[in-house]
Amino acid sequence: MTDQPILVGYDGTDAAQRAAEFAGQRAAAVGCAVHLVFVLEWSPYSFLSTKELEERHQRRTEELSRAEETLKPALDALAKLKVPVTSEVRYGHSGELICAIAKEKNASQIILGRKGGSALGARLLGSLPLTLVQASPVPVTVVP
Amino acid sequence: MFWKKTATASAVALMSGLLPHVAAAQEASFDEQINQAIAPISNVIAGTIFYSIPVAGTAFPLIVGWLVIAATIFTLYFGFVQFRKFGHAISLVKGDYSHPEDAGEVSHFQALATALSGTVGLGNIAGVAVAVSIGGPGATFWMILAGLLGMASKFTECTLGVKYRNEYPDGRVSGGPMYYLSKGLAEQGRPGLGKVLAILFSVCCIGGAIGGGNMFQANQAFQQVVNVTGGENSFLAGSGWLFGLVMAIIVGVVIIGGIKSIAKVTEKIVPLMAVIYVTAGMIIIISNISMVGDAFAQIFVGAFTGAGVAGGVVGALIQGFKRAAFSNEAGIGSAAIAHAAVRTKEPITEGYVALLEPFIDTVVICTMTALVITISGELSSGLTGVELTSAAFASAFTWFPLILALAVVLFAFSTMLSWSYYGLKGWTYLVGEGKGKEIVFKLFFCLCVIVGASMSLGPVIDFSDSMIFAMAIPNIIGLYFLMSVVRGEVTQYWDKIERGEIKKVK
């Protein structure tokens, strides 16, 4: 049993589900916990209209509860594997935030899924796996 | 309730004019009809609000003194807060004090950016041109001074906007002068006065939304579009109603139809336009750097001699003060509505952030426009409004009027969207919330876009000015009562910082 959890970047897609399950198997084998991270893309420097300002707090509450809802299937799947699991939903830049949480939680590694877009698309639009491979403080595993 | 008469008159003009007009295809006469129907009403309103007393041989509108005196009192009362806490304001906007757990909530930067998008606009482009064409380069000096003083007014009203905002059970946040006037004065044992001021403010806010936040914008946007499509020979010349109709439909689609995509596109393009405008201005100023000294000399000399200006020094001063107030809206109360939604435990922090608004709007952008106009030498051309600014920029970049036309239309559009919201807040404060009631206001707002585009500049600018300035009467009376509350906030905030309860997180 190690107290270094495996970090999983989760967004509710099939790829993320596969990553969570893969992480569950690894965690069961090593005897560690899994920590699921759901990042809602957000910049404090984006522009909102007056109406959006008024409704921001309301929307945020809704977004958070929707994210918790989305996390459920992964939490259930991991619970079935008898792996201790925790989760959190955070607002911010996904790459930066996952690296920061990896340090915060003293994670042993990061596991994520990939959607399998073209290489060109990833270069142009940016991709979370590529960002993390470049910037992560711990080993990164990408599940196809 | 003059604006209601305006509405009726315009509606009648529309109904009676539209059908025969289309049949006869006499566009010019239709615009003139609207103009003639509304000018007398706007003259009465402007005459009332701009009641003037003769000072040194020229008419001095009391309302301008009202705003500047208030700004001076707040500046002194808060010990030149706009200079002492300027650095702290920047630090707050950067998010140095924002708690990471509040990510996803409205940041200081977002509240400031949204409030700015409502104020940076035609006031900075057309308003400044009006000021220097009437008041000479010297008006710029008084405009900058009014901008600097106005920072203290903005500080006061936006702190109160956050402190007395409403947080509804469903999570919506809504604030503004109507709330701090009614709640703040009730706390001081003056609920009756508070209520009266709040109602008065709401009525004027609707008028301001219709005037400066709508008709002035539509009018100037149309002028510029006509300008770049060939001036008097333009196929659009005299068809203001047509331009207004198109604009009204787009505004209606966003504010009534709730189509977010158009608003989203505008809000991406508007900051870009602001950057292009400021960059072009800076290039013109830098490439004529040898003339900048002379321009500043003209500004200073003009400010204290009033050479060649109707009304001399006082004439220059009035124009400068008027356009500064119209551009940055300090003391008017509108910005307090936008700033109120920020996520903060300390209302005073938003006050500090808000004081940057008149600085960016007036001291930076307006001054830049004034410098470009002065350097270009177009002042003697007899042009005014957006046409003058356009001509000044065109003297350096011939293609600039096209960009400016696009910028003007987009600025006008984003300002209209902001003001439709401010006006709606005043309206719902008076009549209560409800889908039907909101649609009535929104439809009327769209109708006014058409009216504004059809009128000639004079009546529009008088009406806009008067309604925007009228908001300052109830607002500033309330601010005088409540400024001690703001001082209390200042004291407890800095105590907390000293005790280390509030720390930088970055």
Q: Please, what is the Cα angle at A42 between A45 and B356, to 5 degrees?
A: 15
The verdict on a CB contact (< 8 Å) between A50 and B343 is: no
DSSP states of B13-77 as a string?
Answer: HHHHHHHHHHHHT-HHHHHHHHHHHHHHHHHHHHHHHT-EEEETTEEEEHHHHHHHHHHHHHHHH
Contacts of A58 in chain B (CB under 8 A): 170-172
Give residue A119's pLDDT band: very low, low, confident or very high (50, 70, 90): low
| Residue B89 near residue B350 (C-beta atoms within 8 A) | no
What pLDDT was estimated at residue B458? 67
Would the pLDDT of B267 be above 80?
A: no
The verdict on a CB contact (< 8 Å) between B172 and A46 is: no
Distance separating alpha carbons of residues B428 and B268, to the nearest angstrom: 29
Range list of H helices, B99-165: 108-119, 122, 128-135, 138-163
Q: Chain B: which residues have CB within 8 Å of chain A? A: 95, 98, 103-107, 109-111, 113-114, 117-118, 167, 170-174, 263, 267-268, 271, 337-338, 341-343, 417-418, 421-422
What pLDDT was estimated at residue B150? 93
For β-strands B58-61 and B52-55, DSSP reports them as: antiparallel
Structure tokens, B228: 């770049």
In B306-346 the beta strands, taken as DSSP E runs, fall at none
Give residue A127's pLDDT band: very low, low, confident or very high (50, 70, 90): confident
DSSP states of A49-89 as a string?
Answer: -HHHHHHHHHHHHHHHHHHHHHHHHHHHHHHHTT--EEEEE
| Residue A110 near residue A141 (C-beta atoms within 8 A) | yes
Distance separating alpha carbons of residues B438 and B441, to the nearest angstrom: 5
What pLDDT was estimated at residue B14? 40
The residues that bridge with B76 in the sheet, in sequence order, are: none
Distance separating alpha carbons of residues A72 and B416, to the nearest angstrom: 44
Q: Which of B172, B342, B417 sits opposite A49 (nearest CB)?
A: B417
CA B17 to chain centre: 32
| Residue B195 near residue B440 (C-beta atoms within 8 A) | no
Which chain A residue is nearest to residue B174, measuring alpha carbons?
Answer: A54
What pLDDT was estimated at residue A66? 92
Structure-derived torsion over alpha carbons of residues B2, B3, B6, B7, reported in degrees to the nearest 10: -140
What pLDDT was estimated at residue B26? 46
Question: How many Cβ atoms from other residues are within 10 Å of residue B355's Cβ?
Answer: 27
CA-based nearest distance B350→chain A, Å: 14
Phi-psi region of B432 (alpha: psi -120 to 50; beta: other; left: phi over 0): left
Distance separating alpha carbons of residues B217 and B223, to the nearest angstrom: 10
Distance separating alpha carbons of residues B455 and B148, to the nearest angstrom: 33
Structure tokens, B464: 């806009």
What pLDDT was estimated at residue B178? 93
Question: How many Cβ atoms from other residues are within 10 Å of residue B85's Cβ?
Answer: 22
| Residue B270 near residue B104 (C-beta atoms within 8 A) | no
- A38-52, A117-131, B340-354: which is most confident: B340-354
- A80-84, B193-197, B452-456: which is most confident: B193-197
CA atoms within 13 A on the CB side of B98: 24
Q: What confidence tens digit (pLDDT) does each residue in B398-431 have?
A: 888 888 888 888 888 888 888 999 999 999 999 9
Distance separating alpha carbons of residues A117 and B314, to the nearest angstrom: 67
What pLDDT was estimated at residue A123? 60
Structure tokens, B198: 């709040």
- Mean pLDDT over B162-166 rounds to 92
Three-state DSSP state, B106? coil
Give residue B492's pLDDT band: very low, low, confident or very high (50, 70, 90): very high
Would the pLDDT of B222 be above 80?
A: yes
Rg (CA), chain A: 16
Would the pLDDT of B2 be above 50?
A: no
CA-based nearest distance B114→chain A, Å: 6
The verdict on a CB contact (< 8 Å) between B114 and A49 is: yes
Residue B343 identity: R
Phi-psi region of A39 (alpha: psi -120 to 50; beta: other; left: phi over 0): beta
CA-based nearest distance B152→chain A, Å: 23
ipTM of the prediction: 0.82
The residues that bridge with A41 in the sheet, in sequence order, are: A92
Would the pLDDT of B241 be above 60?
A: yes
| Selection from B158, B139, B142 nearest residue B81 by Cα | B158
Q: What confidence tens digit (pLDDT) does each residue in B433-469 have?
A: 888 899 999 999 999 888 888 877 666 667 777 888 8
Contacts of B228 (CB under 8 A, 6+ apart): B390, B401, B402, B404, B405
Question: How many Cβ atoms from other residues are within 10 Å of residue A120's Cβ?
Answer: 8
Would the pLDDT of B155 be above 90?
A: yes
Contacts of B191 (CB under 8 A, 6+ apart): B182, B185
Which chain A residue is nearest to residue B173, measuring alpha carbons?
Answer: A54
Give residue B12's pLDDT band: very low, low, confident or very high (50, 70, 90): very low
Which long-range contacts link B313-316 to residues 24+ away (Cβ below 8 Å)? B313/B56, B313/B138, B314/B55, B314/B56, B314/B57, B314/B58, B314/B60, B315/B58, B315/B134, B315/B135, B315/B136, B316/B135, B316/B136, B316/B138, B316/B139, B316/B141, B316/B142
How distant, in Å, are the alpha carbons of A103, B168, B191, B377, B378 from that of B187? 49, 20, 8, 55, 54
Q: Give me the helix-helix angle, B240-255 and B435-454, nearest 10°.
A: 160
CA-based nearest distance A94→chain B, Å: 13
CATH numeric code, B28-499: 1.20.1740.10
What pLDDT was estimated at residue B199? 94
The verdict on a CB contact (< 8 Å) between B421 and A50 is: yes
Would the pLDDT of A128 be above 90?
A: no
Contacts of A91 in chain B (CB under 8 A): 103-104
Please report, for chain B, the start and end positions of each structural domain, with discontinuous segments joined by +.
28-499
Give the mean pLDDT of chain B. Answer: 83
Structure tokens, A99: 């690296």
> How many residue pairs from chains A and B have C-beta atoms closer than 8 A?
81
| Residue B470 near residue B49 (C-beta atoms within 8 A) | yes
Question: Which pTM does this prediction carry?
Answer: 0.84
How distant, in Å, are the alpha carbons of A74, B200, B277, B314, B317 from that of B59? 74, 26, 34, 9, 11
How distant, in Å, are the alpha carbons of B117, B238, B369, B404 from that of B277? 14, 28, 9, 8
Give residue B29's pLDDT band: very low, low, confident or very high (50, 70, 90): low
Give residue B5's pLDDT band: very low, low, confident or very high (50, 70, 90): very low
DSSP states of B443-455 as a string?
Answer: HHHHHHHHHHHHS
CATH 2.60.120.10 corresponds to the domain A6-143: no
